[in-house]
Structure 1
Amino acid sequence: MNNKPIATAWIILLQMILVVLFTSMNTSHAEQVTTTVLQSKSKKIQIALHTPRYFGYTAGDTIQHMIDISMPSGSDINTHHIPAKGAISDWLDVIDVQLHKQSSTQSTLRIQYQVAKSVKTTELLEIPAFKISLGQQPEVDSITVPAWTFSYSTIVPSRMSDAEITPQPAQQPVLLTTQPMFGKMLIYLFATATCLGYLLWRRGYWRFQAKKTL
Structure 2
Amino acid sequence: MMKGLAVTTLLCISNVSAFAPTTVRNANSALNMKAEASRRDVFEKAAFVAIGLGTSSGFVPAAYAAGSPPSAAELERIKIGYKKIAYLLENFDQETTVCKENGGECKRDADPVRRYMGLRSTTDPLFQIEKVFAKAKYMDIDPDKLEDFFEATEDWNTAVNMSNSMAFISQFGEYNPGGGKDEVLKYLEEAKKQVVLAEASLKRIMNCLEIE
Shared fold (TM-score greater than 0.5)? no
Greater fraction helix: 2
Kindly indicate which of the two structures has a greater share of residues assigned to strand.
1
Q: Which has the higher contact order (CA 8 A, sep 6+)?
A: 2
Larger Rg: 1
Taking structure 1 as the reference length, the TM-score comes to 0.29
